Structure 1
Amino acid sequence: MLSLDRIDIRILSILQREGRISKSALAERVGLSPSACVDRISRLERAKVIASYHAHVDLRALFDVQTFFMTVTLRSHRASDFAAFEAYVQKVPQIIECYALGGGIDYLLKVMCQNVDSYQALVERLLEAQPGVDRYFTYIMTKAIKAAPQPPVDVLVEMPGARRP
Structure 2
Amino acid sequence: MAQQVFPGRYTADPERESVTVFLIGMRANRWWKAATVAKVAAAMPRMLRHLAGDPASGMLGCEQWFGRTTMLLSYWESPEHLRKFAADRESPHLEPWRRFMKEVAGTGDVGVWHETYQVPAAGIEVIYNGMPLFGLAKATTHVPVGAGSNTAKQRMGRPAGRVAGSPSGKG
Q: Same fold (TM over 0.5)?
A: no
Question: Between Structure 1 and Structure 2, which shows a larger proportion of strand residues?
Answer: 2
Q: Relative contact order (C-alpha < 8 Å, sep 6+): which is higher?
A: 2
**Over alpha carbons, which structure has the higher Rg?**
1
